[in-house]
């Protein structure tokens, strides 16, 4: 398992927290999906899980040796051809030149890379450049696959092929973490990123325990049935746990647990 423990991130000492105590477990053979809009912090979280960025505090444990990471937008100003670029990636991942060539040709055909892997990446269209980013993530079967906005920049056949590649990785026991917008949520274990924290999407019709993180918070503001209120903890019950949690986290409450 890959475990995210108390991850916090901000870019300067005085800037707001982009991530504020994220807890997450990405399990083998399971697709974990983070739902959020632009500018919320999902790309930051995915970069940290993939090892492409460091958290301000907290840690990620259990990151395997082979990580495939597909960013939302691939770097475009690369003078090397796709084959040359993937040759470097293959060497870093312990593949022989013959293995890399064979896999490059296979992925170029499956994703319909036009005009092919022997053209400079900088000369490719945006969509074909994104296909190269997908190719490098799957050059060697990933034990952990992190994909930021899977549909971004890809045509319909390439999106279908990416879905097939992800399904193969899932069946092989890979750990898969995706991000998605509201309009394109794939199947999987869903979380919402709200105010720098992850909230499980499945929290409906549950008893929810909350902890106030600042003075002045009252259970009466939660607009839910209050089952227990004591110093440092409130337990409520509601039919719309998603809405309650969105409002509670925005107001400054911290989630302790949710039980059916």
pLDDT in tens, 186-211: 667 888 888 888 888 765 457 788 98
According to DSSP H, which parts of 2-93 are helical? 42-50, 82-92
Rounded to 5°, the CA angle 45-62-85 comes to 65
pLDDT of residue 54 exceeding 90, the answer is yes
Decide: 179 and 38 in contact? Cβ < 8 Å.
no
pLDDT of residue 17 exceeding 70, the answer is yes
Which domains are seen in the chain, by residue range?
Answer: 2-80+133-194 (3.40.50.300), 203-259 (no CATH)
Reported as a pLDDT band with limits 50, 70 and 90, residue 68 is very high
Bond preceding residue 115 cis, omega within 30 of 0: yes
Question: What kind and span of H or E run contains 144?
Answer: strand 144-148
- pLDDT tens per residue across span 114-172: 999 999 999 999 899 999 999 999 999 999 999 988 777 888 899 889 989 988 998 88
Reported as a pLDDT band with limits 50, 70 and 90, residue 224 is confident
pLDDT of residue 260 exceeding 80, the answer is no
**pLDDT value of residue 57:** 95
Instruction: List C-alpha distances in Å: 52 to 48, 49, 68, 223, 243.
Output: 6, 8, 11, 41, 33
**pLDDT value of residue 154:** 86
Model pTM above 0.85: no
């Amino acid at each position: 398992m890959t475990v995210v423990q108390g991850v916090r991130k901000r870019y300067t000492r005085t800037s707001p927290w982009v991530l504020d105590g994220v807890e997450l477990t990405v399990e083998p053979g399971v697709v974990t999906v983070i739902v959020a809009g632009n500018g919320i912090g999902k790309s930051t979280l995915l970069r940290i899980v993939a090892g492409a960025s460091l958290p301000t505090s907290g840690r990620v444990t259990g990151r395997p040796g082979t990580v495939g990471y597909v960013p939302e937008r691939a770097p475009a100003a690369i003078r090397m051809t796709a084959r040359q670029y993937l040759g470097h990636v293959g060497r870093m991942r312990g593949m022989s030149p013959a293995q890399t060539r064979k896999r490059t040709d296979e992925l170029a055909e499956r994703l319909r890379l036009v005009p092919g892997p022997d053209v400079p990446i900088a000369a490719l269209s945006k969509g074909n450049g994104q296909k190269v980013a997908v190719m490098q993530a799957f050059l060697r079967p990933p034990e952990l696959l992190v994909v930021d906005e899977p549909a971004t920049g890809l045509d319909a056949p390439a999106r279908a092929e990416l879905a097939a590649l992800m399904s193969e990785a899932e069946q092989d026991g890979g750990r898969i973490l995706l991000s998605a917008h509201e309009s394109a949520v794939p199947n999987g274990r869903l979380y919402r990123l709200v105010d720098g924290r992850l909230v499980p999407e499945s929290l409906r019709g549950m008893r929810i325990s909350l902890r106030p993180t600042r003075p002045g918070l009252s259970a009466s503001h939660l607009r839910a049935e209050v089952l227990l209120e004591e110093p440092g903890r409130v337990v409520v019950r509601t039919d719309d746990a998603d809405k309650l949690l969105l409002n509670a986290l925005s107001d400054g409450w911290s989630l302790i647990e949710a039980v059916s």
